[in-house]
Structure 1
């Protein structure tokens, strides 16, 4: 006797490394797997769906909340829980704002770019101490249970809850990228002192989120980019000495509040050299699976790590989605489902947020063909 599996069960089955009835897909369940506002408007116009004024889920990247009509059309299997906090932004001018870290962002054509790094230059630990840090005790979290009650009542989707990014991004913005990299080599004591100031704040904010409703989500997500197109941003040794133990604190806290969670990390670029380390600290899912980066071929990832990691994303946004035809997109979807989807462990989506120059017909081809093809594959 056949029966229809729900989206939530489909996701859970795939993440348990079992083959589902069709490949699960994600569009907009995280701030890194959505679409930039202008691309969203283009897609809605192409599909003759009212775009209205979409809500940002990340202002700096200008990724937006995808409306239900699109999620239903593409048979998306997962929805995001984005905790809203009382950490407000301050508008300095029409296109310039200051976030709760004291970082100023100015809008260019599509995104907001960092104006300056307030902890750049020749600084000491005392300068870090004197910085005007946000007080997590004063940051409150919205009623997440109310939001989850609504999502559980209206949809059969899996739910992914997003925590604050760990500490890499914020430390790079505060210190400045050039000096951040110099510190890795010449002043790791100062840099890790900065890491810890940021980490303690984000641990406290995350604790409030997890205490309130962490056990009601199917997947818990955090982010920090460690890769580039050609390799890691830092050496594997630096990661293992200075970053891995701090990431482990983040993951351990998740497991303190959630029984048997699926832990999801968003980390762009070529991160293959540290995937074993991710497994060791309890990470279950990697995203965005940037297959265009070195050492990130899907065959290699599946063969070497597919029994312990699930792969979330993988459809190339740098070339395939942006420059190829819908037929080529469909062919790439088939290739990825065959490789990454074999035996489960794969949720298909774009590698990071879909950009404004991606033709909407390619987005449509990606999601619709993923469902159509995978039904026959499984």
Structure 2
């Protein structure tokens, strides 16, 4: 099998010739630019500035030479614009705190402050307050709370969020058409459409880092409490977001057709380390109907599989995920309470494709020994890859300061298992 055939077999719950590998195909399965730079050096690849594909998380583009070297089977179709700053080309230099040379979008407006931290301004406008900050010793950006008091007696959700969800432009659609055709015809990788936009209540977007003057309920604690205090507000926001998402899906499908095999819908986290983020009944009331509507459209109109990311313990939601049409679950955080690999595979292995879970990125990969990394990878592969339905990836992105020798041990274990 080539890479695309291998992934297609896997996402259709058929046994491939070997376990497919994804590193860098999505914004939730990537690698920190800092670690990527060191990995390339260790593998003897060309020394170069790392292009950033996700500014928020400072994830680096995985280039063809690295995909070939490591046997990676996926390639991402990323969006032609960055909602924080816009995008035309990636040539603006930014040197990270550890000296890693990167290139970011030309239109990104940022300052390096006296303390060594970086701040980014929404839509490239330095006349307003910055919306994101990376500490002087940090490796990714956090949103800055710029919310103002809201009038709980006069809530206006549609007005507050009217600029939060972008309708796809004709120019973007033309880019997707051109780029997806190039990736499909000129490579044999599985092409993942990183459309996004369906992450209902995603805490990365609620603070509105892309807006100059955010309005309404934007502080995360206020947003979470609004699920109980103002559920109508939440519902109205989700109605608007779903309407825009369905419009974008139609435009996207017209542009890319079958050039992609997987579409990323949502990156909202519904689990914590020890349990669900919200009561499952509240999820069924506020979230599930809209997600079902989105997934139904995808399954009715396309051949794509839907990709959902949710960290943490999501055991209490898995039946709902299946019911609402989720095809692929990432990152499969086996370190969270109740997320037992044997149970997940036995109960949901023929219903959900598990994309991740290959090694723990909280403890084992960054802090373990190469031997511990290899042992865990082999154990996870043995459990999760049985009878297909599994794509190897770490549990979420590979973070900065991860020892390169541990990464090499991870890939050695995958190669050993696949042989």
TM-score calculated relative to the size of structure 1: 0.90
Measure, in 2, the Cα distance between the counterparts of 1:69 and 1:339: 30
Shift of residue 266 of structure 1? 1.1
- Per the alignment, residue 125 of structure 1 pairs with 155
Task: Answer with 153-162 or 307-316: which moved more.
Answer: 153-162
Mapped pair 1:66 → 2:109: no
TM superposition shift of 1:59: 0.8
Q: Does the CA-based 8 Å contact 1:119-1:128 persist in structure 2?
A: no
Residue 55 of structure 1: aligned partner: 51
Give the match for residue 91 of structure 2: none
1:76-115 correspondence runs (5 A): 76-85=72-81, 89=85, 91=108, 93-94=110-111, 95-98=119-122, 104-108=131-135, 109-115=138-144
Q: Which residue of 2 aligns with 1:352?
A: 396
C-alpha contact 1:87 1:139 (8 A) present in aligned 2:
no
String of CA shifts for 1:142-196, please: whole Å, max 9, x gaps: 4223222322333211111112242221663252111112111222112222223
1:297-322: CA deviation from partner (whole Å, max 9, x where unpaired): 11111111111111001021001111
Where structure 1 has 5 or more consecutive residues not aligned to the other structure, the ranges are: none
Partners of 2:336 and 2:170 in 1: CA distance: 37
Counterpart selection for 1:31 from 27, 30, 36:
27
Match of 2:298 among 240, 254, 264: 254
Q: Shift of the alpha carbon at 1:242?
A: 0.6
Compared CA separation, residues 75 and 238, structure 1 to 2 (3 A): same
Cα 1:358–1:137 shift into 2, 3 Å: closer
**Separation (CA, whole Å) in 2 of partners of 1:222 and 1:371:** 30
Q: TM-score, normalised by structure 2?
A: 0.82
Q: CA deviation at 1:338?
A: 1.0
Alignment of 1:179-218 (within 5 A): 179-218=222-261
Alpha carbons 1:40, 1:51 under 8 Å: kept: no
Report 1:1-378 matches (<5 A).
Answer: 5-85=1-81, 89=85, 91=108, 93-94=110-111, 95-98=119-122, 104-108=131-135, 109-118=138-147, 121-123=150-152, 124-126=154-156, 128-129=158-159, 133=163, 136=167, 140-141=171-172, 142-166=174-198, 167-169=200-202, 172-174=206-208, 175-223=218-266, 224-259=268-303, 261-314=304-357, 315-375=359-419
Give unpaired runs (5+ residues) of structure 2: 87-107, 112-118, 209-217
Matched residues, number: 369
Structure-1 residue corresponding to 2:100:
none
Higher relative contact order (CA 8 A, sep 6+): 1
Distance in 1, Cα, partners of 2:225 & 2:352: 32
Structure 2 CA distance for aligned equivalents of residues 358 and 225 of structure 1: 23
Contact 2:109 2:120 in 1 (8 A): yes
Q: Report deviation, 1:93.
A: 4.0
Q: Structure 1 stretch 180-189 or stretch 333-342: which is displaced more?
A: 180-189
Decide whether the 8 Å contact of 1:161 with 1:214 is kept in 2: no
Between structures 1 and 2, the one with greater helix share:
1
Q: Is the 8 A contact 1:120 1:176 kept in 2?
A: no
SS at match of 1:173: coil
Conserved in 1, the CA contact under 8 Å of 2:2 and 2:189? yes
